Amino acid sequence: MRKKADKQRESLAQADEDVVQAAESTVTDQEIYDRIIVSIMEHRLPPGTKLGEDKLAKIFGASRARVRQVLARLALERVVVLHPNRGAFVAEPTVEEAREVFEVRRPLEALVVRRVIEKRTDPRIIARLREHVQAEEAARAARDRRAIIRLSGEYHVLLAELSGNALAARLMHELTSLTCLIIFLYDAPSVPACRDQEHSEITQALADGNEAEAIRLMTEHLDHVEACLDLSRGRPEELDLEAALAG
């Protein structure tokens, strides 16, 4: 009976703590999710990093229950792996998984290109893509490596969103996050995987309505990214989780 009472008191104390944390927090679940995703895409959260619920709750000023929900969502997207009795970790895609990601991306990107070509008569689509390419160019001019990496991935997500195919956009979002992890593991983080003009050339082909050229450029682009992978690259060192998730 005493053990049961102690356990109940602990549960109540933890519940009170979660309520206090939730009351103090102004961050939403989506913002927690976005912060983690952006940190992954900017290569601030290496594959294999432990995402402890307690530490994340403290960083975000949120309850562990809310953090747990976000981690479950990331796990469904294969960006996070949940290990029983060990907790959540940033995924570490294997060499075979890396090949599978690119194998899926090629036909998906071709589908997206075709859909965007069909919608290119809407001037807002090409304008939005060119605006994004300009942001990439500005990041390169500023030598902002983190922004370059993130924007390079976001170009493909934006393209899928503009295609009007919701399922393709969701898949592209997941595959792009996985690609960022793959590049972190198997490529030199200081070298952007995308050549400076590739996205600009793809956008121009889309604007011209040249489907064959746009698909060719996109395929070459993905081939180049995959060819840059260094499968001998070792595991990253431990990092400061709070610093990596700093807004």
Q: pLDDT tens digit string along 76-130?
A: 999 999 999 899 999 999 999 999 999 999 999 999 999 999 998 899 999 999 9
Greatest CA span in the chain, whole angstroms? 76
Q: How confident is the model at residue 149 (pLDDT cuts 50, 70, 90)?
A: confident
Q: Look at residue 120 in the predicted model and tell me its pLDDT.
A: 87
Residue 6 has pLDDT above 90, yes or no: no
Q: Do 25 and 88 fall within a single domain?
A: yes
Kindly state whether residues 33 and 115 are assigned to the same domain: no
Clarify whether residues 126 and 179 are in a common domain.
yes
Reply yes or no on whether the pLDDT at 23 is more than 50.
Answer: no
> Which residue type is seen at 159?
L
Q: Would you give the distance in Å from CA 161 to the centre of its chain?
A: 15
Are 187 and 229 spatial neighbours (Cβ–Cβ below 8 Å)? yes
Percent above pLDDT 90 for the chain: 68
pLDDT at 193 over 60: no
The pLDDT of residue 227 is 86
Domain count, the chain: 2
Residues 240, 196 share a domain: no
28 Cβ contact partners less than 8 Å away, ≥ 6 residues apart: none
Residue 15 above 70 pLDDT? no
Question: 222 and 111 in one domain?
Answer: yes
* pLDDT value, residue 26: 80
* Residue whose structure tokens are 């912060």: 35
The parent domain of residue 66 ranges over 2-92+236-244
Domain co-membership, 131 together with 221: yes
The contacts of residue 200 (CB under 8 Å, 6+ apart) are 133, 137
Give me the phi and psi of 171, to 5 degrees please.
Answer: -65, -40
> CATH number of the domain that 50 lies in?
1.10.10.10
Q: What is the mean pLDDT of residues 31-44?
A: 92
pLDDT band for position 27 (50/70/90)? confident
Judge if 57 and 117 occupy the same domain.
no
184 and 130 part of one domain: yes
How many whole angstroms separate alpha carbon 166 and alpha carbon 181? Answer: 23
Q: Can you give the pLDDT at residue 181? A: 93
Residues 100 and 218 in one domain: yes
Distance CA 87, CA 96 (A): 24
Same domain as 113, residue 99 = yes
**Residue 117 or 10, more confident:** 117
Least confident of 168-172, 180-184, 198-202: 180-184
User: Has residue 32 got a pLDDT over 90?
Assistant: yes
Q: What is the pLDDT of residue 21?
A: 47
pLDDT of residue 240: 64
Task: Note the pLDDT of residue 231.
Answer: 59
Shared domain for 156 and 191, answered yes or no, is yes
| Residues 108 and 215 both lie in one domain | yes
Q: Output the average pLDDT for the chain.
A: 86
Please tell me the distance from the alpha carbon of residue 218 to that of residue 98, in angstroms, as a whole number.
Answer: 18
**Three-state DSSP class for residue 82:** strand
Give the CATH number of the domain where residue 102 resides. 1.20.120.530
